[in-house]
Amino acid sequence: MKKYILTSILCLLITTINAQKNDIAPQDLNGMRAIGSPANPKVRMSWDRYHDYAQITQFCKDLVKAYPNLVKMESIGKSFEGRDIWVLTVSDFKTDKIENKPGFYIDGGIHANELQGVEISMYTAWYLAESFQTVKFINTLLKEKVFYIALTISPDARENFIHKENTANSSRSGMRPFDNDGDGLVNEDKYNDLDGDGNIVMMRRKSKTGRYKIDPKYPSRMYQVRGDEMGDYELLGYEGLDADGDGLVNEDQLGTYDPNRDWGWNWQPDYVQRGALFYPGTLPETRAVKNFIINHPNIAGAQSYHNYGGMFLRGPGAAEDDPLFSRQDIEVYDNIGKLGEKMIPGYNYFVLHKDLYTVYGGEIDFLSLTRGIFTFSNELMTSYKLFNQKNTRSRWDNDEFNEFDKYLLFGDGYVEWKPFNHPQFGEIEIGGAKKNYIRNHPGFMLQEDAHRNMAFTLYHAFQTPKLEIIDIKTEKLSNGLTAITATIMNTRIIPTHSSIDVKNKIERPDYIALKGANVVAGMTVENEDLNLFTEQKHSPQTIHIENIRGMGSVKVRWIVSGNTSGATVEVSSAKGGFVSDKVK
Radius of gyration of the chain (CA): 29
Under 8 Å between Cβ of 211 and 226: no
Cα 93 to the center of its chain, rounded Å? 22
Residue 145: how many other CB atoms lie within 10 Å: 25
Q: Which helix (H) or strand (E) holds 342?
A: helix 327-343
Q: For residue 81, give the 3-state DSSP assignment.
A: coil
Backbone angles phi, psi at 478, to 5 degrees: -80, 165
As a whole number of angstroms, the distance between CA 44 and CA 507 comes to: 40
C-alpha distances in angstroms, 224 versus 97, 210, 401?
Answer: 60, 9, 16
Within 13 A of 552's CA, how many CA atoms are on the CB side? 14
Amino acid at position 540, single letter = P
DSSP letter (8 states) at residue 252: B
286 sits in which H/E element: helix 284-294
N-terminal to C-terminal alpha carbon distance within the chain: 63
- Across the beta sheet with 233-238, the strand order is 222-224, 212-214, 233-238, 202-206, 426-433, 414-422
Q: Report the Cα 83 to chain-centroid distance in Å.
A: 20
Among residues 150, 122, 136, 22, the alpha carbon closest in space to that of 63 is found at 122
Which residue among the candidates 363, 379, 429, 507 is catalytic per the annotation?
Answer: 379
Kindly write down the DSSP assignment for every residue of 77-141, as one continuous string.
EE-TTS-EEEEEEES-TTSS-GGGS-EEEEEE-SSTT-THHHHHHHHHHHHHHHHTTT-HHHHHH
C-alpha to C-alpha distance for 200 and 207, rounded to whole angstroms: 22
Asked whether the bond before 316 is cis by omega within 30 degrees of 0, the reply is yes
Assign residue 82 a region: left if phi > 0, alpha if psi is -120 to 50, beta otherwise? left
Count of other CB atoms within 10 angstroms of residue 324 = 18
Q: Crossing angle of helices 136-144/443-462, nearest 10°?
A: 50
- Report whether 496 contacts 539 (CB < 8 A): no
* Residues 336 and 376: beta-carbon distance below 8 Å: yes
Burial code of 106-116, b = ≥16 C-beta within 10 A, e = fewer? Answer: bbbbbbbbbbb
φ, ψ of residue 139 in degrees (nearest 5): -60, -50
DSSP characters over 115-132:
THHHHHHHHHHHHHHHHT
Q: d(Cα 248, Cα 235) in Å, to the nearest integer? A: 15
Instruction: Please indicate whether residue 379 is annotated as part of the active site.
Output: yes
The catalytic residue positions are 379
